[in-house]
Amino acid sequence: MVPDRRTIPILAVVAICTLPHFLNVAPWVVVACLLLWSYTLAAVRRNWTLPGRLSRGTLAGILSVLTMTTHEGFTIEAFVALLALMISLKLLENTSTRDRMITVILCYFLLVGGLFFDDSIIATAYMMFAVLCTTAVMIHINQGKRGLLAPLKLSVRLMIQAVPIMLIMFLLFPRIQGGLWGRTPVNSGRTGFSNEISFGAIARLAENHEVAFRIEFNGEAPAREQLYWRGIVLSEFDGSTWRRGNDRVKTVPSLQETRQQITYTLTLEPHNEHWLITLDLPMRVSFRRAWLLGDHTLYSWRRISQRISYVGESSLDAKTFGQEREWKKGLQLPEEGNPRTRELAASWTRETEDPEEIMQMALTYFQEQAFVYTLNPGTLDIGTKGETTGAKDLIDRFLFDSRKGFCEHYACSFAFLMRAAGIPARIVAGYQGGTVNRYGGYLVVRQSDAHAWCEVWLPAQGWVRVDPTAAVAPERLQSNATNALPAGEMISAWSFFRAGPLADWLEPMASAWDLLNSRWNRWVMGYSVAEQLDLFSRLGFHLNGQKNLAKRLGIFLAAALPLLLLAGFLISRRKKEAEDKVASYWMDFCQKLADIGLARPPEQGPRDYMRDILKHRPDLELSIREIVSLYISLRYGRQAKDEDVRHLRILVKNFTPQKRRVR
C-alpha cells in the first residue's frame, strides 16, 4: 500500500485543526503527532510502503493506552489527544475516498473540541479559518480535480451562505443554561489569587496580564486612588499564611454615613473560586446566586467557572463597625513566632494606647525605614547567619533583614503588627486601579493589578482601610504595579511594551483590541438564556418560568422554516438549472478528451462523438464505450438510477486519457 499525493491537502488540514490543541494536550502527544505527520509526508514523497494493518492496529492500541494513562482520567484533554492521534494515524491508511472523507470529517470534531478550551475572538476566527480549509479539502476530495483554488472558492461561498442559518441558530435556538457551548472552558480559573495569601503570592501575578474583570461605571468613575476592588478578606493567620477561614457569616452589618454611591456593571472572567469582585465597600449586587458576607465580601455558592456579569452598587465613604466576633477574630495570632516583630509592636503600645496613633507609627515605620517595593524580594527562608530559621519568622526576616517586598509583604506584616499591638486587623485581597479603555470608556482590571491591603478596626470609625504599600510606594496607586517598581526592574520583555516608550504607541491598538474582546464576550459568548428571553420579549413573545423550552423551540422553528423552504426552493431550482449531475459528468468527460485534443463539437451527439474518437484512439475503446453507453442510458434512457449516476461519476473520474506520444 503506497500513499498518494492526495493525502497532502488532508495532512495540511489535519495539522491546521490539531495545532491549537497542542496547548491543551500532553507534550508527548504533540511529539507523536508531529512524528506521524512527518512520516506521512515522507512516505508520500518517497513512495514508501505504509505500515500494514497489524502494525497500525498495535500502534493505535499503544497510543490509546498511553493517552488514557498520561492524562488525568477521562478528561476532555484526553479525548482531544486521542482524537488528534487517531486522525494522524488515519493518514497512514488513506487509500480510498471513504478513508479520506472520514479523516476530514473527524477534523470537524477536533475543531469543535477547541471551543472547550478557548472561546476568544482569535480562537473563533481561527476555527472559522480551519472550517474553511477543511470544507475546501472535503470538496477537493469529492471533485477529484487537481487545483485547490476552486474548492476554496466554493468553500467560502458555502460559508457565506451558511451565515443566515448560523444567525438564526445562534439567536433563536433554545439556549440551555451554561456557557455558549454548554460546558465550562477548561482553561478558566487558572489565574488569580486563591483563598490564601503568603509571601510571593501576588508578586507572581504581576507578570500576568490577563484580564481579571471589566467595569463600566454608570456616571463618573471615581478617582484612581479610590479604586480598591474587594475580593476576599483574610483573617486567619497560622504564622506563615493568611487564610480566609471557613466562617461564612451572612448577616451583613449595615453601612453608615454613605454619601458617595457608585453604580457599575462588572464582567468577571472565570477564576474557579467562590468570590466575586466589588468596589470597596459593596452595598448591593444584582447576582442571584451570591450573597454578601459579614466581612463585606461576596460569596457565590457555585464556583465562578464562566464569565459572569452583574450590576453592583458601592459606597466609597461608608463606615462599617461590623460585629463583635469579626473584630475579635481580627486579634487572633499564633502563640509564638516572629518575636522581633512582636517586640516592635509592644514598644509602640508602651508609648501610647491610642490605636490610631499606633497605626500611624507603623505607617511611619514603613515610610522611614529603608523598605524597597520590589517583585524580587529574594528568599526569606534563610537567615542572615546562614541557619534556617524556618517558616515561622518570615515577618521578622522581612521587617528587619531584607526589607524588600511586594504588596502582600507589607499587608501581612502590617496586619501582624496591628494584631500584636492589640488592634483588630485583617487583610483584604483584591485588585487596585485598572486601565481605562480609551474607546470603550470602561475600566479593565488585569491580574497584574492584584493587590492586598489591610483593614484596621478603630473604636471610633469601625473598619478603616489602610494600605501600607502606599506608604512605601505611593506611586502604586497612581499607576499600575509595574510602573511603581524601581527603575531597571523589568519583569519580562513583555513589560517593555507595557511601560517602555513603545507603550504609548501601542496603547491605542491594545485598547481597541480589548474593546473588541469585551464586546465579543458580552454579546456573543455571553448570550445566554436570559438574553435570549429578553430578545424574545422584544419580539413580542413574553415567556417566563422555566418550562418554556417547547415555546422557544416553536419560535425557533417558526423562524427557521421559511429559511428552510427558501433553501429548498433554491436547491430545486438550481438542480434544474444545472441540468443535474449527469450533464456535468458528461462535460467533465468531454473536457478530459478535449485536453488530449479530441474535443466534442457542440452539435455532436454522444454516439457520433464516440465513433469519431474511436477512429483516432481505438486504444481507448473499452473505457469510452462504457462511459458513453452509460451516459446515453442515463441521459436518454427511460430510468436514471442513482447508482448508475454514481457509477458514471467514478468512471469519468478514473478516466484519464493520455496524449498519444508522437513517435
Residues that bind another protein (CB under 8 A): 579, 583-584, 586-587, 590, 602-608, 632-633, 635-638
Q: What's the rounded Cα separation, in Å, for the pair 267 and 277? A: 9
168 or 632: CB nearest another protein = 632
Instruction: Give residue for cell 514508501.
Output: 48
| 150 exposure class (CB count in 10 Å sphere: 0-12, 13-18, 19+) | middle
211 or 598: CB nearest another protein = 598
Instruction: Give residue for cell 464516440.
Output: 610
Q: What is the DSSP letter of 388?
A: B
Q: What is the DSSP letter of 186?
A: T
State in angstroms the smallest separation of the CB of 612 from another protein. Answer: 12
Grid cell, residue 12, equals 495540511
Count of beta carbons in the 10 Å neighbourhood of residue 362? 25
178 or 605: CB nearest another protein = 605
State in angstroms the smallest separation of the CB of 600 from another protein. Answer: 9
Instruction: Give residue for cell 488514557.
Output: 68
State in angstroms the smallest separation of the CB of 587 from another protein. Answer: 5
Q: What's the rounded Cα separation, in Å, for the pair 227 and 277? A: 12
Q: What's the rounded Cα separation, in Å, for the pair 415 and 8? A: 65
Burial 313-334 (b: 16+ CB within 10 A, else e): bbbbebbbbbeeebbebbbeee
State in angstroms the smallest separation of the CB of 48 from another protein. Answer: 42
State in angstroms the smallest separation of the CB of 595 from another protein. Answer: 17
State in angstroms the smallest separation of the CB of 646 from another protein. Answer: 18
Q: Are β-strands 372-373 and 404-405 bridged in parallel, bridged antiparallel, or unpaired?
A: parallel
603 or 643: CB nearest another protein = 603
Q: What's the rounded Cα separation, in Å, for the pair 596 and 599? A: 8
Please, what is the end-to-end C-alpha distance for the chain in angstroms?
34
State in angstroms the smallest separation of the CB of 649 from another protein. Answer: 14
State in angstroms the smallest separation of the CB of 103 from another protein. Answer: 33
207 or 580: CB nearest another protein = 580
Nearest to 133 by CA among 11, 36, 20: 11
State in angstroms the smallest separation of the CB of 639 from another protein. Answer: 9
388 or 639: CB nearest another protein = 639
615 or 661: CB nearest another protein = 615
Q: What's the rounded Cα separation, in Å, for the pair 316 and 222? A: 9
264 or 586: CB nearest another protein = 586
Q: What's the rounded Cα separation, in Å, for the pair 349 and 358? A: 7
State in angstroms the smallest separation of the CB of 604 from another protein. Answer: 6
Distant-in-sequence, close-in-space partners of 147: CB < 8 Å, separation ≥ 6: none
| Alpha-helical segments (H) within 144-246 | 149-172
317 or 595: CB nearest another protein = 595
Nearest to 270 by CA among 206, 183, 142: 183
76 or 587: CB nearest another protein = 587
Grid cell, residue 292, equals 454578601
State in angstroms the smallest separation of the CB of 621 from another protein. Answer: 19
Q: Residue 549: phi, psi to the nearest 5? A: -60, -45
